Amino acid sequence: MFFFIQMSCLSELNSGPVILPSAPFSSCLHPGARFVGSQLSKGKKYNVEAVIQTTNLPEKTFYGLLTIEHLAEEIPNSTTFFEAEIISRKFPFTTGKWDATVEIDRSHWNELNVPSKFPDYYKDSFDYSALETADHVFMRWKEKFLVPDSTNSSASEHISFSGFYYVCLRKSTGVLTGYYYQGTSERFQLLELNYVPQATFSSFQFI
């Protein structure tokens, strides 16, 4: 879906405000990781929740659900299933699909300040092992389909899955920034999210 999302640094957990702790996060990419906030598109603001469902970090992928309230008048809530590719030797900076050209890739990665961290990122000789210990995790998020029963079939015509997000997560702060790309939509639609800390986790997967 194409839209502009902005997330608050304060979120609610167990009916109380949660402030990001001062200690750095080892990883925000774990099953159950939750991001909440709002979406602003064409002057309208929407409540949004993104939740990671499963991860396979050794294979540089994870999956999640993105829920948006009142995307259209006839859609009270819509939830989509998305797949994330973590930029790595397996999933390089060059997308090579979804109608993204090399020029489009570079313009979006440049917006995410990749050149300031990795000046040679666009070269075939780039050493992707440098990303393993970096504070920033670069990704692509691709919505795949509408979750059944999240909205009615007639309203689903308002939802498009042809685009995807270029994303950067800073692990030390839990701040995620991204830009949506879809050929016919508004360019550089900004995505800003903050990770909602949890008191305990059943498991961690580190990158």
| H helix or E strand, kind and range, residue 48 | strand 44-56
31 to each of 9, 23, 201, how far by Cα in Å?
21, 20, 9
* Domain over 4-86+140-196 is classified CATH 2.40.160: yes
170 with 159: CB under 8 angstroms?
A: no
Q: pLDDT at residue 25 above 90? A: no
Residue 10 in tokens: 């304060």
Q: pLDDT at residue 1 above 60? A: no
- More confident call, 194 vs 31: 31
Q: pLDDT at residue 62 above 80? A: yes
pLDDT digits (tens, 9 = 90+) for 68-127: 777 766 677 888 899 999 999 999 999 999 999 999 999 999 999 999 999 999 999 999
Q: pLDDT at residue 156 above 90? A: no
CA distance 168 to 180: 12
